[in-house]
């Protein structure tokens, strides 16, 4: 079974430029998450989708970040305009809730963003 796919793996941009990240979850996984992980810290949830609907985007800086999952499968995360403090690894995860209610998040390889 294929894992979570993300692209690009690395991106270097200048501040005030825009950037987009793509994520394709594990087939059949209804829930998709975007995280930001700054070096030396744990992941921080940015947004959670259930199919094509947003469950929680309370920690997404909506003045510059946006995300969509139009067909309930793959998703894009955009930053416009980027700031220096956006330099981080952006992780995508997906999960499927079993009949017993148990759920495990599986992560993609991440996109390392450097804003200069």
Partner 1 sequence: AQKVTQAQTEISVVEKEDVTLDCVYETRDTTYYLFWYKQPPSGELVFLIRRNSFDEQNEISGRYSWNFQKSTSSFNFTITASQVVDSAVYFCALIPLDSNYQLIWGAGTKLIIKP
- Pairwise CA distance, residues 77 & 66, whole Å: 6
In the bound state with partner 1, the residue whose beta carbon lies nearer, of 23 and 93, is: 93
- Pairwise CA distance, residues 23 & 100, whole Å: 27
Q: Is 28 in the site for partner 1 (CB under 8 A)?
A: no
In the bound state with partner 1, the residue whose beta carbon lies nearer, of 45 and 81, is: 45
In the bound state with partner 1, the residue whose beta carbon lies nearer, of 82 and 95, is: 95
Q: Which of residues 61-80 bind partner 1 (CB under 8 A)?
A: none
In the bound state with partner 1, the residue whose beta carbon lies nearer, of 22 and 81, is: 22
**Which residues does 53 contact at the CB level (< 8 Å), separation at least 6?**
none
Over its C-alpha atoms, the chain yields an Rg (Å, rounded) of 14
Out of 24, 48, 75, 94, the residue judged to bind partner 1 by CB under 8 A: 48
Q: Supply the minimum distance, in Å, between the C-beta of residue 29 and partner 1.
A: 12
Q: Is 42 in the site for partner 1 (CB under 8 A)?
A: yes
Residue 111 CB-density burial (10 A; 0-12 exposed, 13-18 middle, 19+ buried): buried
The closest of 103, 87, 112, 115 to 28, measured between CA atoms, is 103
Residue ranges binding partner 1 (CB under 8 A): 31, 41-43, 45, 48, 55-56, 89, 91, 93, 95, 97, 102-110, 112
């Amino acid at each position: 079974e294929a894992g979570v796919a993300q692209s690009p793996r690395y991106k270097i941009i200048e501040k005030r430029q825009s950037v987009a990240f793509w994520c394709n979850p594990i087939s059949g996984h209804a829930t998709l998450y975007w995280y930001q992980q700054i070096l030396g810290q744990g992941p921080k949830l940015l947004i959670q989708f259930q199919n094509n609907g947003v469950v929680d985007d309370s920690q997404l800086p909506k003045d510059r970040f946006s995300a969509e999952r139009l067909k309930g499968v793959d998703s894009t995360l955009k930053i416009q305009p980027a700031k220096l403090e956006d330099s981080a690894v952006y992780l995508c995860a997906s999960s499927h809730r079993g009949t017993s209610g148990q759920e495990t998040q599986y992560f993609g390889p991440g996109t390392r963003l450097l804003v200069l």
